[in-house]
Every structure is written in structure tokens, then in C-alpha cells.
Structure 1
């Protein structure tokens, strides 16, 4: 995992174009067994996003203002720690809009992932998510737990949340 993080740091330092960034993040997501990635930089005057999610999902996400209800975004903002997430238990969600969000995301193959929040300038936040099937999220949650116990820091493992991430 440390090698993967070093590759991520290297990619952000050397990618000169959006296309280079796109290609590198797609490859990094695949190395971990995930199909998708999304980098989301949340700003008060707009959101910058780079992702390999389908254009239809990205259009839907922004047109429906899903970043306001996306549990992954909300957890990232509140914890500022890396965490895994899954949409397996969406029936427990009270909000009809959030349940519909889960269904929509799952329809585009976004069911689980790992999200890494990043503090940016002026107390803002960006986040990188790699996402795909539930199986991968469970595997990585176990690896992150082992890493937590061996390195003395905590990552949060969340419940339902198939968002943008």
C-alpha cells in the first residue's frame, strides 16, 4: 500500500495535463482492483472534478446536486481520514433522496470504494476516491485495519455510501 501511495504522490507531481492525470489515476485504481476513480476538489464557488466515471453519472451527480447528500463527501468532510465504504445496507437509510442516490450510483457500478480526504488551502477539502464492486471494498477494509494496527493510526470504515466519490 505504501508503494501505491508513493505512486499517487508521484503522479500528482508529474502529470502536466488532465489527460495524463486521468490515465495515471485509472491505472492506479486498477492496480488496487477497482474500476473507477474520482478526484473532487470542493470550493465555495464551484467544484473541480476529474473522474473516469461515466459521463452520464457525472452529469446526473452534478445536475442533482448529489454532493450535498453524498454520504462519502459528508464523511470525508467530517473525519479527514481515509475510509472504506459500501452501499450494501441502503435499506437502513432514512432519507428517500439518499436511498435513490444509492440506487442511481449502483446502476453505474459504484457500490464501494476507498476515499482519501486531503486538506487544501484556506481550510478547504479535496478527496480522491477509487470505487467499484463491494468485494474490493471489503478486501481493502481488512487491509486498512491491519495497517492501522501495525502503524498506529486509524482509518475510518463507513457503512453505506456509494457516492462520488
Structure 2
């Protein structure tokens, strides 16, 4: 059976994670992997409600993202992490989901839809979220 391109790339990516010692290294590796599939923007960080969420551009933060700087600034200034429907869904879901699924979900709030609409004006129009949950909702 022949492997698909994504299976091959994912295998290479996983092999390269064996020697990762710092979250910055993993972020760089994730960024390079995403670019191979025309995904220039990624975010990496905790989804658990008791953990810090989105403190952009801080060296001591667990969260890293390469979204447009203007969007990072607005997102933080407006406190969007508290109402971001992608974060809310990621806390509840075990599997990956498309942003479009969240946008069209009947349970999305007006504020949540506004976050996604504003993100789109900064070039973040579509995407996939892959929640990673550890024991007791930990993120390490």
C-alpha cells in the first residue's frame, strides 16, 4: 500500500520531534510542516480553561503563534481568548475540526462569530484546529 503525501510528511515530522527539547523548536517544526500544505499561520498552546491562554510575543509563554502581528495585538487587547469559539470547541472536542464547522454551528454566539469575522479581515479565513489533551486537561 502506497502512503499519501500527508502520511509521508507526517511520518517525517513525527521522526523529527524525537529530538525536540524546547517548545520553540516544536513550533518551528510545526510551522515548516504546515507550510508544506500551504498553511502559513499556526497557533500552539493550551486550551484548558485553568491555563494561561494567548500571551503573544512573550518568551516565557507556552503559547506561540505566527498570526499577523496586527491580529495578535487586537486579539489580546480585546480579550478574545475568553470568547473565541475555536478555543471553546477545542476544550470540548477530542478530534480535529474545521473552522467553518464552528462558524456554521447553531450554538455559536454573536461575539464568537465576530471574532471569526474579524480574524478573516486579517487573512485568517479558514483553518483546522487540532486539540491535544493530556492527563487532566494538562498541556505540556
- Work out the CA distance in 2 between the residues paired with 1:94 and 1:20: 34
Q: Is the 8 A contact 1:39 1:50 kept in 2?
A: yes
Aligned length in residues: 125
- Which residue does the alignment assign to 2:45? 40
- Which residue does the alignment assign to 1:118? 132
State the Cα RMSD in Å: 3.0
Distance change in 2, residues 1:96/1:115 (3 Å): closer
Helix, strand or coil at the partner of 1:36: coil
CA distances 1:78-114 after superposition (whole Å, capped 9, x unpaired): 1211122228967x78743223212220111111112
Counterparts of 1:9-88 in structure 2, within 5 Å, are 9-17=14-22, 19-43=24-48, 44-47=50-53, 48-86=62-100
Unpaired stretches in structure 1, ≥5 consecutive residues: 127-165
- Work out the CA distance in 1 between the residues paired with 2:10 and 2:52: 27
| Higher RCO (CA < 8 A, seq sep 6+) | 1
- Work out the CA distance in 1 between the residues paired with 2:29 and 2:108: 38
Q: Which moves more between the two structures, 27-36 or 14-23?
A: 14-23
- Work out the CA distance in 2 between the residues paired with 1:3 and 1:53: 26
- Which residue does the alignment assign to 1:97? 111
Distance change in 2, residues 1:52/1:69 (3 Å): same
Unpaired stretches in structure 2, ≥5 consecutive residues: 1-5, 54-61
TM-score computed with the length of structure 1 as normaliser: 0.60
- Work out the CA distance in 2 between the residues paired with 1:32 and 1:23: 15
TM-score computed with the length of structure 2 as normaliser: 0.69
Distance change in 2, residues 1:93/1:118 (3 Å): closer
The alpha-carbon deviation at position 32 of structure 1 amounts to 1.3
- Work out the CA distance in 2 between the residues paired with 1:122 and 1:113: 27
